[in-house]
Homo-oligomer: A and B are copies of this chain.
Amino acid sequence: MKDIAINLLEERGVTLEDMAVLVLDLQKKYYDDLTIEECIENLHHVLEKREVQNAILTGIALDKLAEKDMLEEPLLSILKKDEPLYGIDEILALSITNVYGSIGLTNFGYLDKVKPGIIGKLNEDKEKKCNTFIDDLVAAIIAAACARIAHSKKEVL
């Protein structure tokens, strides 16, 4: 399941490295010895969680179905326009950030608003593709990895 989730993300243009860069950006101010390899390792742990895999499988399935016009109206138009009041994309994302507790919420909201790196790229590609779910999923995976790092660094101290 984890490999399937990683492959789906890559098929939609998102690599572990893209996400690791943003994890490092967000966390290096707190842990100055944090490496990109550790960020990738933490992303792997996040992606091993079944809730995370299920959210990825479901959200990307909906993005792909919308792209192929295989959904009924009005859901099809809502997803194609990334209608701001839809909210189900944030709900799926929340099920990812929750895996390491509520401390992931802040980073998720920040990433979703500021749209750095790969998240901005997914957003720009919305003219050609349906990226309604994937940008929130990616922000949530990154936020969960940050929360996992915060928890694990604390445990060690």
Q: Distance in Å from the Cβ of A120 to the closest Cβ of chain B?
A: 14
Select which of B1, B74, B85, B105 is within 8 A of A94 by beta carbon. B105
Q: Distance in Å from the Cβ of A52 to the closest Cβ of chain B?
A: 9
Binds B, one of A35-43, A53-61, A121-129: A53-61
Copies of this protein in the assembly total: 4
Residue numbers in B under 8 Å from A74 (CB-CB) = 1, 4, 57
**Cβ-based interface call for A87 (8 A):** yes
Which B-chain residue is minimally distant from A52 (CB atoms)? B101
Write the A92-106 contact mask toward B (1 if CB under 8 angstroms, else 0): 111100110111011
| Beta-carbon contact of A99 and B101 below 8 Å | yes
Select which of B71, B84, B103 is within 8 A of A87 by beta carbon. B103
Select which of B72, B90, B101, B102 is within 8 A of A103 by beta carbon. B90
* Cα distance A95–B87 in the bound complex, in angstroms: 9
**Cβ-based interface call for A63 (8 A):** no
* Cα distance A85–B150 in the bound complex, in angstroms: 8
| Beta-carbon contact of A92 and B91 below 8 Å | yes
| Beta-carbon contact of B87 and A101 below 8 Å | yes
**Cβ-based interface call for A45 (8 A):** no
Q: Distance in Å from the Cβ of A61 to the closest Cβ of chain B?
A: 5
